[in-house]
Amino acid sequence: MHEMALCESMIEIIEREARDQHFARVRAVWVEIGALSHVEPEAMRFCFSAVAHGGIAADARFEIVSVSGAAWCMSCSKTVPLAQRSAPCPDCGGYQLQVTAGDELRIKELEVD
Q: What pLDDT score was predicted for residue 78? A: 97
Distance, in Å, from the CA atom of 9 to the CA atom of 32, rounded to the nearest integer, reads 15
**2 annotated as belonging to a binding site for a ligand:** yes
pTM for this prediction: 0.88
The pLDDT of residue 61: 98
Eight-class DSSP state of 29: E
Q: Band of the pLDDT at 1, cuts 50, 70, 90?
A: low
For residue 113, with 0-12 CB atoms within 10 Å meaning exposed, 13-18 middle and 19 or more buried, which class applies?
A: exposed
Look at domain 2-112 and name its CATH class. Answer: alpha beta
Cα of 97 vs its chain's centroid, Å: 21
- Determine whether the annotation assigns residue 73 to a binding site: yes
Known binding residue 47? Answer is no
Query: Which tens digits make up the pLDDT trace of 19-70?
Result: 999 999 999 999 999 999 999 999 999 999 999 999 999 999 999 999 999 9
Domain boundaries, the chain: 2-112
